[in-house]
Amino acid sequence: MRHNKSGKRLGRNTPHRAAMLRNMVTSLIEHEKITTTDARAKELRKVVDRMITLGKRGDLHARRQVLSVIRDQKVVAKLFDQIGPRYKDRPGGYTRIVKIGSRLGDNAPQSIIALVEEEMTSPASVAVEA
């Protein structure tokens, strides 16, 4: 039984799963949008949100924590210089998952996971505008 065990295994052992998520986080931050399966996208969202939160902090300890996951210096620089400041006023929810149908080969459900672009608006400001 898997009581109180968080996260999906995704059909991989622990080091393979960690390496796969590390590669996917690097690709998502570098390209700001990737296509993957639904299950992988949902697991990736957890890791990416944590990395962007550390990028918003911007101190040396946060940079070292990010470097333990993302091994590419250029991607880490992009995270701290461009992406972190972009979301400085946003309290979370940095990614969007859009389902795009099934993969042709094995009929696996596919999704696009992308970083959110637009500014966050509060429900009160929407009500005032309407």
pLDDT tens, position by position, for the chain (130 residues)?
989 998 999 999 999 999 999 999 999 999 999 999 999 999 999 999 999 999 999 999 999 999 999 999 999 999 999 999 999 999 999 999 999 999 999 999 999 999 998 765 656 555 556 5
**Tokens (6 digits) for 87:** 């979301």
Which domain does 20 fall in, by range?
14-129
- DSSP symbol at 81: I
pLDDT confidence of residue 62: 97
In a domain, 52, yes or no: yes
In a domain, 101, yes or no: yes
Interhelix angle 38-57/14-31, nearest 10 degrees: 70
This prediction has a pTM of 0.86
Number of domain units in the chain: 1
pLDDT confidence of residue 121: 63
Q: How many CA atoms lie within 13 A of 69 on its CB side?
A: 26
Burial class (CB in 10 A: 0-12, 13-18, 19+), 124: exposed
Helix (H, G, I), strand (E, B) or coil at 107: coil
Helix (H, G, I), strand (E, B) or coil at 86: helix
Q: Which CATH number goes with the domain that contains 84?
A: 3.90.1030.10
Q: Is 92 left (phi over 0), alpha (psi -120 to 50) or beta?
A: left
In a domain, 8, yes or no: no
Helices vs strands, H then E, count in the chain = 6, 3
In a domain, 9, yes or no: no
| 37, 101 Cβ separation under 8 angstroms | no
pLDDT confidence of residue 117: 87
